[in-house]
A and B are shown apart, each in its own frame.
Chain A
Amino acid sequence: MFSARDRNAFSKKSNIPQVEKYSNLKYSHRLNFYDRPPIDDITIEDFETCALDRLRVLAEIESSFVRNRSWEELKSVALTQSEKYLPVHASTAIAVDRDAERKKDHVGHFVLRLAFCRSEELRRRFVKSEMALFRIRWDTDDRVEREEFLNSRDFDWIPVSESEIKEHAEELTAAAGGLKDFKIENEKFYKVKWTRVPDLVERRRVFLKGGMAYVPAREQSSLVFQEFQSNLEKALELTAKALPRLDEDTRIVPILDNLSQGFLAGVSSEWSTASSSESTGKITAEMIDDMARKHFPMCMRHLHECLRRDRHLKHHGRLQYGLFLKVLGLSIEEAITFWRRSFSQIQDDKFNKEYRYNIRHSYGLEGKRANYAAKSCVQILTGETPGPGDSHGCPYRHFSQENLSSALLATYSSQGLTQADLPEILHAVKSQHYHVACTRVFEITHARDGVYKGEGVGGGESVTHPNQYAARSRELEKARLETMKAESDGDIVMS
């Protein structure tokens, strides 16, 4: 940190008065990679407040993930929350005590490390939220200050020489494919070990040679985030190993326990098992065929039909369909019955060996006993692309247009969908509004329940979750049956 400050003070880029203004800051940068723990004494009260306030921000970020908020929404929610509990201002904001803010940020982060290093699940979630927080700050940081922060830390990026750029000009340009205004003559590149930029590699956004990734300078932020993440992951694992020694301190352990539980409780998922339709009565394995026909969205209809046709589903299909059925209200016993019967070509011991555990696991009865939520549309749409032989995914997105058209007609014509409805649905699909297409199909197939165009799954809401689709469809049916019953009761009185 010293060298950083020194370098900053003599930096030729910044003008003198500015340097004078904040060169005496203990924390020179708003952004922090948390390479070193705080070294000052901290009171036990500060220890807890710093951590709790940070937790408020992180919990909000995490629940944004769960609710599938867009990045922009998440950012604005997190910024509001930060403003309240964990403000960190730019170095130029001379009216505030920037050191105090930054110290609080620093201490809070390290306390939470202690609280969240203790299980893999907690570590994973902590890293994800911290990453988001860092990204938000990066996005909102002053450009000059960000540059200074980058210069203050050795990232170990090897600049690619001009001759090497020339040699690979063609490949580098092709790899940069999507970048705006890309001109190879104006670009700088860095070489890093590919393992440091797995996200760029996964999307083929870099040129790779001998294990080194050639990253365009403007993808720098990607490098920084990856670095932040992998540093934090490593640090957490090591902290976890060292933690038992801290267990001796009886003042700290209860605080840490408290913190990690707070994080767990702060997360809600709108369509978790809690909201499953207990009120509508018990669902048994035998009822699924009928329910699928009446209430399931296309993705689940497709899975159901593939399961019936092939007597099997591949891994992702089982996962997508299984969790959906769980949230629909199928109990674990019924789920096992359902899958056992469905995989009719499989021997008992193979079933017991390969599938029973996974079903129980998804019900939180095995392994780490997590209560898995069913996948939302966004997760299904953006999740694993189905490979050959797979049947998971969202048909609106993952089917070709022709196959989608014929599948829609075959599936829903008995519920009122006709050829004439297709252009409108396909139009939504073409403009990549898959859930809009799905919502329209819901409206058409529930017209006899009085659902009109634009009403969606109630109050104009679009389909965002297959379970929401099915739940609404069942509600409508229930209402219809009740009026029918009321009417026929009425008849009896009149006669």
Chain B
Amino acid sequence: MLAFYRRLYPFKSVFHWLNHGHTPTRLFTHRELAFTLKGDVYLRYNSFNTAEEMKKQVCTLNPTRFEIGPVYSARPRDKKTVRPAAFKPTLRELVFDIDMTDYDSIRTCCSDAAICSRCWTFIAIAVRVLDKALRSQFGYKHLLWVYSGRRGIHLWISDKEVMELTDDQRKAIVGWLTVIAGGKEMNKKVNVRLGSKPLPPSVQMALEPLAEAFTELILEDQDCFASKEGWETLLRLIPDKCESVTASLRRTWGKDPDRSSLEKWDDLKREVKGMEKGTFQRALMMATIEDIILQYTYPRLDAEVSKHRNHLLKAPFCIHPKTGRVCVPVDPNDIDRFDPEKVPTVTQLLGELDRAGEDVKPDEHHSDWEKTSLKPYIEMLDRHAAGLMEEVRQNIRNGTGMSVLRFQLSIDVTNALFELQI
């Protein structure tokens, strides 16, 4: 692990990404880093002035992993010495966490910690839907997707507006994006419309690609309604008001339980087509079909992670302790081809490095990671950070930098306050 930090971990790139620029600002110096050491020792509230300082400390502590928190109003390492009121989270990327465990009730190929390329499709779908929504509806540009090292994916959004979102606003985004709600004890988890009224536009937009995915993934690949348990779950999603549909399908499938999911889904659709046009029940069933598609395919978010600025999230390029895989950035446009099992492990990388060391002379100007399969991933982060830094440069040129604005405001108010003459 130490060799990995010393020779491979891209401290500089991570620094640029967090700091939005070359010279250290509060975005980096007031940022919390939390280390997990061997034996589950947990060190919170670390902060560093420069990337080099961070690297030095990481190499000294050799943590099993580390997490990134918010930018505070004071340096986290000074937490003990500042007044509690002067130590508040201020800025933070908006983060999302999607984890395979939330799909355990649906996927049939694996369970628990296991993941294969087949069930990765669930994650891929979630990435596509969220990436599109956040870009087109919210207008955000700087999205970084990072594989979590085992069975999930993280998203970090770094746009200026996003960094400044309050917890309430974060909660609002989560609400906007949450379609699957209701605990283990609730069968129907999609309740986003009134009766059989149309879906909210944002959900409607997601529906089309999801319907495609539903056929390929849920019906064909996972064959979710093959088992009795599977099709009973499906039948429970049909509203009481359409009992006749449920009854008729249960009869058909009871007689011929070996019908594939695809056939069963066609049976359901046929039932609906057979219903009298213009009736309330038919409209309700049409809506139900959409809701079922959503329930099986719409992204499932871990809401708590996103709602609070002070939530800590594992840093990119850490090593997952169980799999040994590196948490590498993922290109959302290429998410379908991403295979979690092909992600380099730390052992593999160190091996590559050793082999490279044999025929290449140590070279001052080239970082060691360039000789390994980590290269494309680090370049991806560098490109992402470059985009961010470019935008910050432009903002400064246009005079809309954050700090300038803040300063002016606070002067105004101080003046106003002292007009209150007593």
Please report A residues at the B interface, Cβ cutoff 8 Å: 36-39, 41-42, 44, 47, 110, 118-120, 170-175, 177-178, 194-195, 198-199, 201-204, 207-212, 234-235, 238-239, 241-242, 245-246, 249, 251-252, 302, 315, 347, 349-350, 353, 368, 385-393, 395, 398-400, 402-404, 407
Q: Are B417 and A393 in contact (CB under 8 A)?
A: no
B360 at interface by CB-CB < 8 Å: no
A selection of 11 A-B contacts at a CB cut-off of 8 Å is A37-B420, A39-B420, A201-B176, A349-B39, A386-B181, A386-B186, A387-B300, A387-B302, A388-B184, A393-B183, A400-B187
> Closest CB of chain A to B163's CB: distance in Å?
12
Q: Are B140 and A388 in contact (CB under 8 A)?
A: no
Q: Are A349 and B175 in contact (CB under 8 A)?
A: no
Contact of B186 among A37, A235, A398 (CB under 8 A): A398
Contact of B40 among A118, A235, A349, A399 (CB under 8 A): A349
Chain B, 292-310, CB within 8 A of any chain A CB:
300, 302-304
B357 at interface by CB-CB < 8 Å: no
Contact of B194 among A41, A171, A178, A386 (CB under 8 A): A178
Q: Are B182 and A385 in contact (CB under 8 A)?
A: yes
Could you tell me the distance between the alpha carbons of A267 and B188 in the complex, rounded to whole angstroms? 39
Could you tell me the distance between the alpha carbons of A212 and B417 in the complex, rounded to whole angstroms? 33
Could you tell me the distance between the alpha carbons of A310 and B409 in the complex, rounded to whole angstroms? 52
Could you tell me the distance between the alpha carbons of A170 and B139 in the complex, rounded to whole angstroms? 20
Residues 314-354 of B, flagged 1 when their CB comes within 8 A of A and 0 if not, give 00000000000000000000000000000000000000000
Residues 144-176 of B, flagged 1 when their CB comes within 8 A of A and 0 if not, give 000000000000000001000100110111111
Could you tell me the distance between the alpha carbons of A494 and B188 in the complex, rounded to whole angstroms? 63
Given that A177-B197, A210-B136 are contacting pairs, would A239 and B413 also be in contact in the complex, using a CB cutoff of 8 Å?
yes
Q: Are A388 and B410 in contact (CB under 8 A)?
A: no
Q: Are B194 and A177 in contact (CB under 8 A)?
A: yes
Contacts of A402 in B (CB 8 A): 187, 236
Q: Are B184 and A389 in contact (CB under 8 A)?
A: yes
Given that A177-B198, A198-B171 are contacting pairs, would A403 and B185 also be in contact in the complex, using a CB cutoff of 8 Å?
yes
B401 at interface by CB-CB < 8 Å: no
Residue of B nearest to A36 (CB): B416
Chain B, 102-134, CB within 8 A of any chain A CB:
102, 105
Q: Are A177 and B193 in contact (CB under 8 A)?
A: yes
Q: Are A37 and B176 in contact (CB under 8 A)?
A: no
Contact of A389 among B101, B174, B414 (CB under 8 A): B101
Could you tell me the distance between the alpha carbons of A56 and B194 in the complex, rounded to whole angstroms? 41
Contacts of A395 in B (CB 8 A): 185
Residue of B nearest to A173 (CB): B198
Residues 1-32 of B, flagged 1 when their CB comes within 8 A of A and 0 if not, give 00000000000000000000000000000000
Given that A177-B197, A177-B200 are contacting pairs, would A199 and B410 also be in contact in the complex, using a CB cutoff of 8 Å?
no
Contacts of A203 in B (CB 8 A): 175
Contact of B88 among A120, A173, A234 (CB under 8 A): A120
Q: Are A194 and B185 in contact (CB under 8 A)?
A: no
Contacts of A171 in B (CB 8 A): 201, 204
Given that A177-B193, A204-B176, A211-B138 are contacting pairs, would A389 and B183 also be in contact in the complex, using a CB cutoff of 8 Å?
yes
> Closest CB of chain A to B276's CB: distance in Å?
25
Could you tell me the distance between the alpha carbons of A365 and B193 in the complex, rounded to whole angstroms? 43
The number of A-B residue pairs with CB atoms under 8 Å apart is 166
Q: Are A407 and B185 in contact (CB under 8 A)?
A: yes
B-side interface size class:
35 or more
Residue of A nearest to B205 (CB): A171
Contact of A399 among B174, B180, B185 (CB under 8 A): B185
Contacts of B300 in A (CB 8 A): 387-388
Could you tell me the distance between the alpha carbons of A173 and B199 in the complex, rounded to whole angstroms? 10
Residue of A nearest to B413 (CB): A238
Contact of B168 among A110, A198, A241 (CB under 8 A): A198
Given that A201-B173, A208-B138, A208-B202 are contacting pairs, would A37 and B416 also be in contact in the complex, using a CB cutoff of 8 Å?
yes
B403 at interface by CB-CB < 8 Å: no
Residue of B nearest to A211 (CB): B139
Contact of B200 among A37, A47, A195, A204 (CB under 8 A): A204
Contact of A208 among B137, B168, B304, B410 (CB under 8 A): B137
> Closest CB of chain A to B94's CB: distance in Å?
12
> Closest CB of chain B to A240's CB: distance in Å?
8
Residue of A nearest to B412 (CB): A238
Q: Are B172 and A199 in contact (CB under 8 A)?
A: yes
Residue of A nearest to B203 (CB): A204
Could you tell me the distance between the alpha carbons of A211 and B409 in the complex, rounded to whole angstroms? 24
Q: Are A39 and B176 in contact (CB under 8 A)?
A: no
Q: Are B175 and A353 in contact (CB under 8 A)?
A: no
Could you tell me the distance between the alpha carbons of A36 and B41 in the complex, rounded to whole angstroms? 52
Could you tell me the distance between the alpha carbons of A194 and B183 in the complex, rounded to whole angstroms? 29
Residue of A nearest to B192 (CB): A204
B247 at interface by CB-CB < 8 Å: no
Contacts of B102 in A (CB 8 A): 387-389
Contact of B41 among A172, A173, A239, A349 (CB under 8 A): A349
Q: Are B185 and A242 in contact (CB under 8 A)?
A: no
- Among B139, B185, B188, B300, the most chain A Cβ lie within 10 Å of the Cβ of B185
Could you tell me the distance between the alpha carbons of A210 and B139 in the complex, rounded to whole angstroms? 4
Q: Are A209 and B137 in contact (CB under 8 A)?
A: yes
Could you tell me the distance between the alpha carbons of A1 and B190 in the complex, rounded to whole angstroms? 49
Given that A195-B161, A387-B181 are contacting pairs, would A38 and B420 also be in contact in the complex, using a CB cutoff of 8 Å?
yes
Contacts of A251 in B (CB 8 A): 422
Contact of A242 among B169, B198, B417, B422 (CB under 8 A): B417
Q: Are A174 and B410 in contact (CB under 8 A)?
A: no
B399 at interface by CB-CB < 8 Å: no
B398 at interface by CB-CB < 8 Å: no
Contact of A350 among B40, B161, B181 (CB under 8 A): B40
B280 at interface by CB-CB < 8 Å: no
Could you tell me the distance between the alpha carbons of A251 and B168 in the complex, rounded to whole angstroms? 37
Contacts of B418 in A (CB 8 A): 245
Contacts of B139 in A (CB 8 A): 209-212
Could you tell me the distance between the alpha carbons of A201 and B169 in the complex, rounded to whole angstroms? 9
Q: Are B172 and A353 in contact (CB under 8 A)?
A: no
Residue of A nearest to B139 (CB): A211
- Among A38, A173, A177, A349, the most chain B Cβ lie within 10 Å of the Cβ of A177
Residues 191-230 of B, flagged 1 when their CB comes within 8 A of A and 0 if not, give 0111001111111100000000000000000000000000
